[in-house]
Amino acid sequence: MSAPVTPAAQPVKPSLSPEQVRDRRLAWGLFIAGFLSLLMTEKPVGFGRDESVYFHAAESHARWFQQLVSSPSEAVKDDAITRSFDFNHEHPALMKNLFGISFVVFHEKLGLLRPAGAFRLPAFLFAAWMLPLIFYLSRRLWGPFASAAAAISFFLVPRQFFHSHLSCFDVPIATMWVLTIYCFVEALEKPRWWIYTGLAFGLALAAKHNAYFIVVTLVPYILVRGWQLTRGSPEARGLFFGINGVFVLAVVLYGFMTAVVGPERMLATFTFQSPQLAIFVIACSVGGWLLWKLRTVHLDAFRTLAPLVAMAILGPLVFYAHWPYLWHHPVDRTAWYLNFHLTHNHYAWFYLGDLLRGPPFPLSYVVVKTALTVPTSIFVAMSLGFVWTCWRAVRKEMTGFEFVLVANAVMSIALISMPNVPHFGGVKHWFPSMPFLAILAAGSLERGSKGLSELLLPRLKAATQPRVLVALAVLMGTSALIATARVFEFGTSAYSELAGGLPGAASLGMQRQYWANNLSGVLPWINENARPGERIYFHENHGGQIRDLQRNGMLRSDVYAVGLEQADLVVYQYHQEFRDAEFQTWQRLGTFRPVYGLYLDETPQIVIYRRR
Amino acid sequence: MIERAARIEGVVLAAVALGALIFQLWLPSTHVAESDYQAVASVLSAEQQPGDVVLLVPWWTERARIYVPEGLPVVGYQGSDADSLERHPRIWVLSEPSLPRAGIGAFEKAFLPSRKELGSARSFGNLKLQLFENGRSKPLVLDAAELVAQANVYLEGPDGSRQDCPWNGGGHRCSNGKTVSKEWRDVHWAPWPCVKMEAPGGANRVVMEFTTPAAASSSLSAGYIWEYGSCKEGCTPSTVWFEVNGQAQSMELQTGDELMHRLEGPPLAEGSRVRIALLSQNPNARVVCFVMNAWGTR
């Protein structure tokens, strides 16, 4: 009898521990629940000014992808690309590509969703993806229930839940930001994740321009950690200097060339066969080669530096590859795109009774606005979590991971707080800070529940820490859930308990709304009461929004959008900075008396006047 | 110490969460039922007198406009608590004191001086209605905005030469394409029944001239309309004239100034000739709201 044949030794994938299995299930549960919550609440959410622009751009991108399938050689020509991608080229294409493809597949081909639902589907996926990312990052510090609470809390902020519905970029960039940090943290411990970090950073660049600041949050940590790790190894230290030196030298060379030939000539001559591209290629090649050598010398140092090098190399490559608009004119079109955001307009914005028209803006604006819009139970936990971490830093107890968390929690808030940075857009521009603040809040929840449990246990045996944690999380989340349920579709109007809700914010003189999506609240009345063929002035709504409302069956197709002078019905959006439009409506229509309106907690949002 | 801090943290989180929950559950109880607005409207319809006005508290509670009887003015704008409402001898204060941050104390501080309650306050659900006698009112003899159609409007050169701006049914259209007309416009968030004038530029003035009845006093208020006031670059200051029977006084409206400014004028004899005028070197964004009134004695 022959001996049993044993197969050749195979690398065995380590099986997951029960705890990891539970975490994986929780993460999937969060993702699925998050996705479904968005899908099921999508219809009442109106179309913001920008969203309608992105619908249009996304459809245009989708047509190009269809052409790419049907006649690829024609599609890759510059004129075909320009035709499809020139509109709204102030934002990169990743999300618009996905919105457009989803529209073609789920609306045009399968007929499963209305046009807006199909456009928005990728946005739901990106927003839902945020929840497991928060959960897993939080799990590095806190227990599963506190981490799940942190993830859920992202959707319990009414403005965040509202924005998660939109075919826009503010939540996707926040997700890509968190993904990049997640990959980076994993990369410090595991192989291959440095590549994923570079790819994630590329996707973040492809989502929105905020992504450039991710690097700022990581570089100090990477340099300090790299310096500390290579302390005992001269060879590794040399490579550490070499890698950093190569990229620093590249930056210096670019600066020198710009100073010598001027920025315009620098850009004009940045072609395929140019010194400018050569510098990038050489820096990436030498940096990559040194990095590979470091891998054999000091694995931990390699894992620290490799994500940054991957971000430097893969980030621009993904950015270039994802956006056909750059394929034939990479430099000048990228330069235009960056310049657009560096010189962005300032829009009028109401804040504590004053109209902010331009810089310098108040330094406290972002913090105050956050305090007045994030549900107070969550905001207080975030604040306590932040203070706790700072206290640990003072006591020199802060870990590297905590440093990364705090740096990312602070980055977007600090950036927008700068007095010269445009301040419009409510809270969406510092969304990338919010997931990290949610993780800090989870720490507060965990510590607080432990403290409460210690207080209660002598009198109440059932008050074990896990039970107290769940009870406290439910208590904290319920008020936020009620607020979100009541106003999520009018998310730009939402204010917290600290503000006194919407009425309190109105008395404080805060911006009532923006983006003009609250129009959805009066559409049923208009559909019921507008006369056949009625001429309506939709104040602050552009034609694209009206087109999309009619296309999605939300507004009767027989009414016409006209200017104030021709209108018989005026739909005024209450903005303090646009009161003149309401007063002119009185003048033109000969009445001071509205016929209907959207009043949220008594605050006027949309006011409708009819010609006498 | 850490244990103590954790206990405090837990108590703070629980207390804040409980407070937030109570707030969210309470907030809908501050809403106003439509029937309450209708009850208020019935009272106003039955008891209003000519010259009455409704003042909203807090100032932004404009849902009331839907229900207030047509013809009864409603005032509510940021800062309206302190409005003297000088055209109105009686003020109906319609307030929602149960709203968060209703600011009733601050309102009373700004509003109550020179006002006297008439009768007692009436409540309709969350609405409170109280009539006041307005001690700051004066009988209005003249509102220049009502005289625009009959007035003489022209562009006047530095040498005194005039170019007529003929009436076209809606306003006086001048040769530079700009119109002088009566319009409701915004000056620093408040609605004003304006004579809207636009500076012609250079050394030219746009002038509105009319005759008045006798009056104990007169005033001219002027300010840039809406966002034109915020213009700082590519704009020049404006000069505003208020001339009665050849006696002129003037004031400068600086660039970036978004407020309404007022000149007190002399008593007017029957048939007084009044000229109001505007000049700005650069006409860009120099659109001004003029409110010229003449007052009787109380």
HEC profile for A412-479?
HHHHHHCCCCCCCCCCHHHHHHHHHHHHHHHHHHHHHHHHHHHHHCCCCCCCCHHHHHHHHHHHHHHH
Q: Supply the CATH number for residue B214's domain.
A: 2.60.120
Q: How far is B99 from chain A (nearest CA, A)?
A: 7
| Same domain flag for A495 and A544 | no
| Same domain flag for B171 and B155 | yes
| Position A451 in a domain | yes
How many domains are there within chain B?
A: 2
The rounded distance, in Å, linking the Cα atoms of B140 and B193 is 14
Q: How far is B43 from chain A (nearest CA, A)?
A: 18
The answer to whether the CB atoms of B14 and A507 lie below 8 A apart is no
Beta bridge partners of B265: B218
The answer to whether the CB atoms of A579 and B227 lie below 8 A apart is no
**Which residues of chain B have a CB within 8 Å of the CB of A602?**
30-32, 61, 63, 96, 99
Cα atoms found within 13 Å of the Cα of residue B298, Cβ hemisphere only: 10
- The residue from B84, B109, B134 where one domain ends is B134
| Position A396 in a domain | yes
- The residue from A451, A485, A508 where one domain ends is A508
Structure tokens at A451: 């403290």
Check residue A427 and give its pLDDT.
Answer: 93
**Which residues of chain A have a CB within 8 Å of the CB of B65?**
592-594, 607
Residue of B nearest to A610 (CA): B66
Residue in A448, A580, A603 nearest the CB of B60: A603
Residue in B68, B183, B226 nearest the CB of A587: B183
The rounded distance, in Å, linking the Cα atoms of B123 and A56 is 51
- Is pLDDT of A5 > 50? no
| CA nearest neighbour of A387 among B15, B18, B13 | B13
**Consecutive H or E run containing A610:** strand A603-610
| Same domain flag for A582 and A494 | no
| Same domain flag for B84 and B155 | no
Residue in B9, B225, B226 nearest the CB of A384: B9
The answer to whether the CB atoms of B191 and A583 lie below 8 A apart is yes
Check residue A3 and give its pLDDT.
Answer: 44
User: What are A380-410's pLDDT values in tens digits?
Assistant: 999 999 999 999 999 999 999 999 999 999 9
| Same domain flag for B121 and B175 | no
B69 preceded by a cis bond (ω within 30 of 0): no
| Position B53 in a domain | yes
B114: left (phi over 0), alpha (psi -120 to 50) or beta: left
**Which residues of chain A have a CB within 8 Å of the CB of B102?**
503, 507
The rounded distance, in Å, linking the Cα atoms of A443 and B67 is 51
Q: How far is B211 from chain A (nearest CA, A)?
A: 25
Check residue B1 and give its pLDDT.
Answer: 77
The rounded distance, in Å, linking the Cα atoms of A562 and A543 is 9
3-state DSSP percent of chain A in helix, strand and coil, to 5: 70, 5, 25
Domain hosting B85: range is 31-134
Q: What is the ipTM of this complex?
A: 0.96
| Position B78 in a domain | yes
- Please say whether the beta carbons of A230 and A237 come within 8 A: yes
**Which residues of chain A have a CB within 8 Å of the CB of B78?**
353, 509, 576
Residue B21 Cα to chain centre, angstroms: 39
- The residue from A458, A482, A508 where one domain ends is A508
- The residue from B85, B106, B134 where one domain ends is B134
Residue of B nearest to A478 (CA): B21
Beta bridge partners of B187: B190
| Same domain flag for B153 and B168 | yes
Coil/strand/helix, residue A535: strand
Residues of chain B with pLDDT under 70: none
Check residue A11 and give its pLDDT.
Answer: 58
C-alpha distances out from residue A542 to A498, A536, B253, Å: 34, 12, 34
Query: Does B232 contact chain A (CB < 8 Å)?
Result: no
Query: Does B223 contact chain A (CB < 8 Å)?
Result: no
Residue in B9, B61, B100 nearest the CB of A451: B9
Mean pLDDT, range A562-586, rounded to an integer:
96
| Same domain flag for A497 and A524 | no
Structure tokens at A300: 């931990």
The answer to whether the CB atoms of B63 and A583 lie below 8 A apart is no
Query: Does B70 contact chain A (CB < 8 Å)?
Result: yes
C-alpha distances out from residue A109 to A66, A119, A313, Å: 12, 13, 38
Mean pLDDT, range A212-218, rounded to an integer:
96
| Same domain flag for A475 and A582 | no
The answer to whether the CB atoms of A353 and B30 lie below 8 A apart is no
| Same domain flag for A354 and A480 | yes
| Position A587 in a domain | yes
Dihedral angle of Cα A512, A515, A517, A522, to the nearest 10 degrees:
50
Q: How many CB pairs under 8 A join A and B?
A: 171
| Same domain flag for A439 and A378 | yes
Residue of A nearest to B6 (CA): A451
| Same domain flag for A358 and A489 | yes
- The residue from B110, B134, B158 where one domain ends is B134
| Position B261 in a domain | yes
| CA nearest neighbour of A491 among A22, A34, A47, A35 | A47
Check residue A4 and give its pLDDT.
Answer: 46
User: What are A145-163's pLDDT values in tens digits?
Assistant: 999 999 999 999 999 999 9
Position A392: which residue type? R
Annotate chain B with three-state secondary structure. Answer: CHHHHHHHHHHHHHHHHHHHHHHHHHHHHHCCCHHHHHHHHHHHHHHCCCCCEEEEECCCCHHHHHCCCCCCCEECCCCHHHCCCCCCCEEEEEECCCCCCCCHHHHHHHHCCCEEEEEEEEEECCEEEEEEEECCCCCEEEEHHHHCCCCEEEEECCCCCEEECCECCCCEECCCCCEEEEEEEEECCEEEEEEEEECCCCCCEEEEEEEECCECEEEEEEEECHHHHHCCCCCCCEEEEEEECCEEEEEEECCCCCCCEEEEECCECCCEEEEEEEEECCCCCCEEEEEEEEECCC
| CA nearest neighbour of B199 among B87, B282, B293 | B282
| Same domain flag for B100 and B200 | no
| Position A174 in a domain | no
Q: How far is A221 from chain B (nearest CA, A)?
A: 28
| Same domain flag for A380 and A470 | yes
Check residue A9 and give its pLDDT.
Answer: 54
Query: Does B62 contact chain A (CB < 8 Å)?
Result: yes
Say which residues have a Cβ less than 8 Å from residue B202's Cβ, sequence separation at least 6.
B281
| Same domain flag for B222 and B129 | no
| Same domain flag for A475 and A446 | yes
| Position A400 in a domain | yes
The answer to whether the CB atoms of B14 and A452 lie below 8 A apart is yes
**Which residues of chain A have a CB within 8 Å of the CB of B10?**
447-453, 455, 468, 472
User: What are A9-58's pLDDT values in tens digits?
Assistant: 555 667 899 999 999 999 999 999 999 999 999 999 999 999 999 999 99
Residue in B8, B20, B99 nearest the CB of A375: B20
| Position A602 in a domain | yes
CB atoms under 10 Å from CB of A83, counted, come to: 14
| Same domain flag for A502 and A602 | no
Residue in B16, B19, B189 nearest the CB of A579: B189
| Same domain flag for A435 and A524 | no
B58 preceded by a cis bond (ω within 30 of 0): yes
The rounded distance, in Å, linking the Cα atoms of A357 and A354 is 9
How many domains are there within chain A?
A: 2
At A114, the pLDDT band (50, 70, 90 cuts) reads very high
DSSP A353: T
| Same domain flag for A495 and A543 | no
- Is pLDDT of A1 > 50? no
Average pLDDT, chain A: 95
| Same domain flag for B100 and B185 | no
The answer to whether the CB atoms of A504 and B14 lie below 8 A apart is no
| Position B149 in a domain | yes
The rounded distance, in Å, linking the Cα atoms of B234 and A27 is 57
C-alpha distances out from residue A316 to A185, A311, A324, A560, B164, Å: 21, 8, 14, 45, 65
User: What are A151-206's pLDDT values in tens digits?
Assistant: 999 999 999 999 999 999 999 999 999 999 999 999 999 999 999 999 999 999 99
| Position B18 in a domain | no
**Which residues of chain A have a CB within 8 Å of the CB of B191?**
579, 583, 586
Coil/strand/helix, residue A608: strand
Percentage of residues of chain A with pLDDT beyond 70 = 98
| Position B11 in a domain | no
| Same domain flag for B291 and B146 | yes
The rounded distance, in Å, linking the Cα atoms of A401 and A420 is 31
User: What are B175-212's pLDDT values in tens digits?
Assistant: 999 999 999 999 999 999 999 999 999 999 999 999 99
Domain hosting A360: range is 349-508
| Position B198 in a domain | yes
Coil/strand/helix, residue A48: coil
Check residue A13 and give its pLDDT.
Answer: 66
| Same domain flag for B117 and B178 | no
User: What are A307-345's pLDDT values in tens digits?
Assistant: 999 999 999 999 999 999 999 999 889 989 998 998 888
Beta bridge partners of B153: B208
| Same domain flag for B103 and B183 | no
- Is pLDDT of A8 > 60? no
| Same domain flag for B189 and B282 | yes
| Same domain flag for B196 and B263 | yes
Check residue B191 and give its pLDDT.
Answer: 97
| Position A384 in a domain | yes
| Position A288 in a domain | no
The answer to whether the CB atoms of A601 and B27 lie below 8 A apart is yes
- Is pLDDT of A500 > 80? yes
DSSP A576: G
DSSP A8: P
